[in-house]
Amino acid sequence: MKPLYGKDSAIPSNKKIVFLGDSITDEGTFIAFMDAYFLQHLQGHHLTLVNLGVSSETASGLSEPEHPFPRPCVHERIDRALSECKPDWVVLCYGMNDGIYYPFSEDRFEAYQKGILSAIAKIKQAGAKAILMTPPPFDAKSFEAGSLMPIGQSSYSYASPFAQYEDVLKRYADWVLTLEGSADAIVPIHDQMLRLWEKKRETDPHYATGDGIHPNAEGHWLIASSLLRVLFNITLEQIPEYVLQPSSSALFRAVQQRHRLLSSAWKEHVGHTNPSKAEALPIELALQKGAIMASEIRERAAVPGNKNKIKTSVWKGYERVDFMLDGREGLLIFPKQFASGKPWVWRAEFFDAFAYADMALLEQGWVIAYYRLSNMYGCPGAVDRMHSFQSYVTNAFGLAPKTVLFGFSRGGLYAFNYAAKYPEHVKLLYLDAPVLNMLSWPGGKGEGTGAAIEWEECLSVYGMTEESFNLAGCSPLDRVDELAAASIPVLIVAGDADVPVPIAENAIPFEQRYRQLGGTIKLIVKPGVGHHPHSLEQPEPILAFIHAHAQH
């Protein structure tokens, strides 16, 4: 599916996003997490997040007999929600209640499918984008609200669910993933949440994921970060402190208070059939108060203690600092003693992967830097953000004005494009199994396997169609002369058995053209080695090239 984000992954200046869902959405922590991210880190973007989740709701219209009241159905209110809110995007998250906690049945599954497809159609008819989330999983190990029931019972309910209800939700989630032709974007959270739980339980077998139905704060952060990734191409690895300790952050407490104020007002304004009604201000008054609160939150976020806040820790025995810059994660690893001039190596992508040369330089007094611009493929917007990062770290931490760029795999696109535009800030490039021909990878137009999803992402961030991309000459292989004119030394390490990024379509023709243009370049070919493993376990040849050419 073509990603929802557009050229350069530019964040929209204004966008109204409505969230429809059951009690997981109604509780709203993942929406508050998203709101906190935008209010704190991207204050120039005014994104309105409207939480219209209703507890107990379904998309199917089904309800188990033991439920204390007929479950609400989104189709009882979706038309009014669309007309009153006038959203640009609508996020749907249903499924947990739609199987009504019974074993799988084709009739219930069909009701869920019809309900979801009908909701998507109504959203599109209203002129909005329909974004579909998979249902989260059911965790029997954390369920304590009642009794888990075996197969063959006459009835089940949310208080006495089918013990293998997760199997039902898995089928629902897998079906949602097939709706690329119907929804404008799909946000997978089901399997991702299962992997999170598995990882947590490797160190804590008794880890509680929530109450079995509703995920805990870490689960809500996974949902929020998944939405940021799919909708805005913002990849976040660090978990904010307020996720695990919300009371420790006055900023997040203010965001959450505003979120609850507006959510209650919108929910009651639109209306619903859940007998439990929230105390809510009239919508006009709530919007006025919410605007004042948002302004106060932005002021609080701009103070030094919140803006570009630096977090210090120890990483493999070295000092590490993490920070946010323009809404993206950056980090630096400091040596125990700086080499003269504070030289630094900048890993363009895949921080700490096959880091033999990185670690050797760190031991020699170099700083390691990384700025998370994943899935931007070195597009012009990524290069602009990279320039902001270099300006920040050289000024704030006194690093050398020129860097050595490491471009591993697709990171080769970032490294080349940055050096071509800002050669005065780059000493040399070390490219490892690099993508230098995007038609080869991810395009798959040659001998390589290609990657369909990544190709769609690549075209999206470059703002091109496949036809226009073919004509534009965006790949480093088409622009070798730009780098050669800057006289930047280049080292390439690549395996001659690389299947996804064939050396014959990437490293070899690049090396030949660069040498023909008078550029300084060295190609180290690893016989019989594929795309992995990267680098050299004994990195002396890499270090020798860097030391020979990075002293000027």
Given 301, 319, 343, the domain boundary residue is 301
Cβ atoms of 39 and 72 closer than 8 Å = no
280 lies in the same domain as 316: no
Q: What is the pLDDT of residues 463-478, one digit of tens each?
A: 999 999 988 889 999 9
Cross-strand bridge partners of residue 87? none
Report the pLDDT value the prediction gives residue 44, as an integer from 0 to 100. Answer: 84
Q: Is residue 90 part of a domain?
A: yes
Strand 185-187 and strand 129-133: the pairing is: parallel
State the pLDDT confidence band at 308, using cuts at 50, 70 and 90.
Answer: low
Same domain, 211 and 257: yes
pLDDT tens string 159-217? 999 999 999 999 999 999 999 999 999 999 999 999 999 999 999 999 999 999 999 99
Per-residue pLDDT for 235 more than 80? yes
Tell me, what's the pLDDT at 150? 97
Domain boundary among 268, 301, 334: 301
Q: Let me know whether 291 and 344 are in one domain.
A: no
Mean pLDDT for all residues in the chain: 95
152 shares its domain with 228? yes
Would you say residue 328 lies in a domain? yes
Flag whether 7 is in a domain.
no
Residue 1's pLDDT band (cuts 50, 70, 90) = low
For residues 220-243, give the mean pLDDT.
Answer: 95
Strands (E), 234-276: none
- Written as one letter, the residue type at 436 is L
Instruction: Examine the domain organization and report whether 196 and 276 are in the same domain.
Output: yes
89 and 224 fall within a common domain:
yes
Q: Answer with the one of 243, 268, 301 that is the final residue of a domain.
A: 301
The DSSP code sequence of 116-135 is HHHHHHHHHHTT-EEEEEPP
CATH number of the domain at 84, please: 3.40.50.1110
302 pLDDT tier (thresholds 50, 70, 90): confident
Query: Is the peptide bond between 533 and the residue preceding it cis, with omega within 30 degrees of 0?
Result: yes
d(CA 215, CA 138): 9
Q: Both 33 and 148 in a single domain?
A: yes
For 551, the 3-state DSSP assignment is coil
pLDDT of residue 199: 96
Q: Are residues 377 and 359 in the same domain?
A: yes
Residue type, 531: H
What pLDDT band is residue 246 in, cutting at 50, 70 and 90?
A: confident
For residue 431, what is the domain's CATH number?
3.40.50.1820
Q: Span 78-95, mean pLDDT? A: 98
Distance CA 105, CA 112 (A): 11
Q: Which amino acid, one-letter code, is at 273? A: T
Percent of the chain with pLDDT over 90: 90
Q: Is the pLDDT of residue 516 over 60?
A: yes
Q: Do 254 and 364 reside in the same domain of the chain?
A: no
Q: Which residues pair with 432 in a beta bridge?
A: 408, 493
Is the distance from CB of 213 to CB of 162 less than 8 angstroms? no
d(CA 20, CA 161): 24
367 by DSSP, 3-state: which?
A: strand
CA nearest neighbour of 218 among 191, 235, 236, 200: 200
Instruction: Say which amino acid occupies 192.
Output: Q
Q: What is the pLDDT of residue 301?
A: 86
Task: Tell me if 128 is assigned to some domain.
Answer: yes
Strand order from edge to edge, sheet including 185-187: 46-51, 14-21, 89-93, 129-133, 185-187
Q: Is 277 found in the same domain as 368? A: no
Q: How many domains does the chain have?
A: 2
Determine the pLDDT at residue 216. 96
Alpha helix ranges (H) inside 134-234: 165-176, 190-203, 217-232
Whether residues 315 and 290 share a domain: the answer is: no
> How many other β-carbons are positioned within 10 Å of the β-carbon of residue 279?
7
| Separation in Å, CA 231 to CA 21, 182, 190 | 18, 16, 17
Range of the domain at 419: 311-549
- 108 and 19, same domain (yes or no): yes
Q: Is 253 inside any structural domain?
A: yes
Q: What are 367's strand-pairing partners?
A: 344
pLDDT of 165 reads: 98
pLDDT at residue 305 greater than cutoff 80: no
Asked if residue 306 is part of any domain, the answer here is no
Distances (CA, A) of 330 to 9, 31, 358, 389, 518: 18, 24, 17, 8, 35
Which of 202-211, 299-308, 346-355 shows the lowest per-residue confidence on average (mean pLDDT)? 299-308
Whether residue 2 lies inside any domain: the answer is no
Banded pLDDT at 46 (limits 50, 70, 90):
confident
- Nearest of 522, 524, 536, 491 to residue 356 by alpha carbon: 536
Q: How many CA atoms lie within 13 A of 136 on its CB side?
A: 28
What mean pLDDT comes out for the span 122-143? 98
